[in-house]
Structure 1
Amino acid sequence: MIRRCAALPGLFLLMATLLNAGCQSPRESLQALAAGHGQRVELIHTRDYPLLYSAVRVPAAPTLLRVYLEGDGHAWATPSQPSLDPSPRRLMVAQLALDDPQPSIYLARPCQFITAPACKPAMWTGRRFSAEVLDSLGQALDQLKRRYGNQTFELVGYSGGGALALLLAARREDVVQVQTLAGNLSPQEWARLLQLTPLDGSLEPLQYRERLARIAQRHLMAEADRQVPAAVAAYYRRQLGVVRCAEFVSLPGVTHEQGWAQTWRHWRGRPLECVVAQD
């Protein structure tokens, strides 16, 4: 639905412009952001949920396609009331994807920017990391692979998108690297640490620790993050044990939502400094 704002007299033209921008729906804002980068937003139909993604132009089939997974978005309207629309109000993850010089896709999560009959509050609260969500994202990756002809994926997950990146990597053979930004690497430990209601119906990445120990991964943690404290990544690291290739980076002066544009420009093209497992 397009929200309309009343026109103001000519003397307030600038104010009207600002108000009109503020009245854009989250989907309109995403479309405008993509258009500003010469791209467009398209729809992927999966079994239960339509998903929005940024349609990048690539000259030839890339060997590796980087896919950015959105965070939890606007999951809660108040501490006790789920939101009616989980679409992110800040488009930081989309901006990172659109600014990336290598072939990259921004992929929204189920029920973000677009609704479907299966969209119920449980899908962005307790079941935000459920099998249904993973199935939908996995079907989207399959379709992207057919469209772009890439052989493998790198998944970049922000906040709760970090848990989904790990879970997808554990389920697929074509994910060769995972990077997370302020990633929720263990939703169970996150809920326990912050004394939140357990996420009933959600999966836990550490259930697949043996598989994940073989996945190349880098986790960028914000020292000033209060929403996903660095202690969550520290717990994940301890529980994961000896891994084939992993890097954990603590970032001073970065918060959950601030400082990522500059930070990611520094890290996005850097190879991992691997910790190699000993046989």
Structure 2
Amino acid sequence: MEQCIVIKYWRCFFLSQLLWLLPACTAPSFSELLAAADTIGNDAGFSRQAIDGGQFSLVSYQKIQSDSQELTVYIEGDGKSLITRTRVSLNPTPHNPLGLKLAAADTVNDNVIYLGRPCHFIATGADPECNPKYWTRYGYSADVVASLSTALDQLKADHGFTRINLVGFSGGGALVMLLAAKRDDITTIRTVAGNLDVAAFTQYHKVSPMSGSLNPADFTDKVQAIPQRHFIGSEDYVVPPQIGHSYLSQAEKTACISLRVIEGATHLSGWLQSWPEYLREPVVCKQRP
């Protein structure tokens, strides 16, 4: 999700993408976006590596500092899905990768990997599987979840990890919930401005339902025993606080679910400086009386 002014997405396309236009600016090239991401990663001690995600080849930034069996994985928001409200982007690589910036700001965990979404940081035309539907209406599809899950399996095999903490920004918040719903190795879940209820999200923005995508709110029973903490910006008008509250209202058991509203935070601002502090907040299930 890009900076500047927010517009409504094209009603037929992936509705978790509010387009941030840059008026009177020249759009950065793919090579510039990749170089900027490399700089963010390199400055924080990460190295860029490709991962086999089955259907998709995925780009990752990795920082492995200990032989701990615990891994923290960050998943990005939806990126640059649209150019205008009626024109789909040919390449969804994010112009402001806040998910990567959060991973780079993680000074709490030893082993941190930023796992790129399908077709993010992949040159246009380089992967025949990169159909625009995967960064529009199929952005949270079973295919996407399966590819990310395959990548997690590969990371575990490569490094010997047995436990995974998931962190997702914006649309990546939806994906970490969907990943956790199908896996049995997730220790904790954190989301930042996460789209936790896709149906509530589309209703809020008065746009068409997202055909082809899964809704995390439909899988609350699968993740209700996993400690999870959802950080919400009080001034976020892209994924407003009621989206998180809608998700919470659909969970039968809520002892492991915590919502944390950050006063003054918007969708893109108010997160990075305090992120290590937020990471230190315990993510645990409340004891039943």
Same fold (TM over 0.5): yes
Instruction: Give the counterpart letter for 1:236 in structure 2.
Output: Y
Match of 1:140 in 2: 151
Match of 2:262 in 1: 251
Q: Structure 1 residues 149, 223: CA separation in 2 closer, same or farther (over 3 Å shift)?
A: same
String of CA shifts for 1:142-181, please: whole Å, max 9, x gaps: 0111122111101000000001000000000001210000
Q: How far is 1:276 from its partner?
A: 3.9
String of CA shifts for 1:235-274, please: whole Å, max 9, x gaps: 0010113223121111111000001102312211221264
Match of 1:171 in 2: 182
Candidates 10, 25, 28, aligned match of 2:35 = 28
String of CA shifts for 1:106-148, please: whole Å, max 9, x gaps: 1110010115111111101100000110011001000111122
User: How does 1:256-275 map onto structure 2 within 5 Å?
Assistant: 256-272=267-283, 274-275=285-286
User: How does 1:59-138 map onto structure 2 within 5 Å?
Assistant: 59-60=66-67, 62-101=68-107, 102-114=110-122, 115-138=126-149
Tell me: higher relative CO, structure 1 or 2? Use CA pairs within 8 A at least 6 residues apart. 2
CA distance in structure 2 between the partners assigned to 1:214 and 1:85 by the alignment: 37
Answering whether residue 220 of structure 2 is matched by residue 212 of structure 1, we say no
Match of 1:162 in 2: 173
CA distance in structure 2 between the partners assigned to 1:23 and 1:165 by the alignment: 26
Instruction: Give the counterpart letter for 1:169 in structure 2.
Output: A
Match of 2:49 in 1: 42
Q: How far is 1:80 from its partner?
A: 2.4
Instruction: Give the counterpart letter for 2:117 in structure 1.
Output: R
Q: How far is 1:197 from its partner?
A: 2.0
Provide the TM-score with structure 2 as the length reference. Answer: 0.84
Unaligned runs of 5+ in 2: 1-25
String of CA shifts for 1:43-71, please: whole Å, max 9, x gaps: 012221110111213231x2321000000
Provide the TM-score with structure 1 as the length reference. Answer: 0.87
Instruction: Say which is worse superposed, 264-273 or 131-140, in terms of deviation.
Output: 264-273
User: Is contact 1:243–1:276 with CA below 8 Å preserved after alignment?
Assistant: no
Q: How far is 1:40 from its partner?
A: 1.4
Instruction: Give the counterpart letter for 1:223 in structure 2.
Output: S
- State the SS of the aligned residue for 2:73: strand
User: Is contact 2:228–2:258 with CA below 8 Å preserved after alignment?
Assistant: yes
Candidates 252, 255, 277, aligned match of 1:241 = 252
String of CA shifts for 1:10-66, please: whole Å, max 9, x gaps: xxxxxxxxx9x9885222221222222333101012221110111213231x23210
CA distance in structure 1 between the partners assigned to 2:153 and 2:40 by the alignment: 25
CA distance in structure 2 between the partners assigned to 1:58 and 1:150 by the alignment: 13
Runs of 4 or more consecutive aligned structure 1 residues displaced over 3 Å after TM superposition: 21-24, 273-278
Q: How far is 1:206 from its partner?
A: 2.1
Query: Which structure's CA Rg is the greater one?
Result: 1
User: Is contact 1:223–1:255 with CA below 8 Å preserved after alignment?
Assistant: yes
Q: How far is 1:100 from its partner?
A: 1.5
Name whichever structure is richer in helix by fraction. Answer: 1
User: Is contact 1:184–1:233 with CA below 8 Å preserved after alignment?
Assistant: yes
User: Is contact 1:245–1:277 with CA below 8 Å preserved after alignment?
Assistant: no
CA distance in structure 1 between the partners assigned to 2:134 and 2:59 by the alignment: 17
Q: Structure 1 residues 38, 263: CA separation in 2 closer, same or farther (over 3 Å shift)?
A: closer
User: Is contact 2:76–2:97 with CA below 8 Å preserved after alignment?
Assistant: no
- State the SS of the aligned residue for 2:228: strand
Q: How far is 1:277 from its partner?
A: 5.0
Match of 2:6 in 1: none
- State the SS of the aligned residue for 2:77: coil
Instruction: Give the counterpart letter for 2:202 in structure 1.
Output: A
Instruction: Give the counterpart letter for 1:228 in structure 2.
Output: V
CA distance in structure 2 between the partners assigned to 1:138 and 1:23 by the alignment: 26
Q: Structure 1 residues 238, 23: CA separation in 2 closer, same or farther (over 3 Å shift)?
A: closer
Unaligned runs of 5+ in 1: 1-18
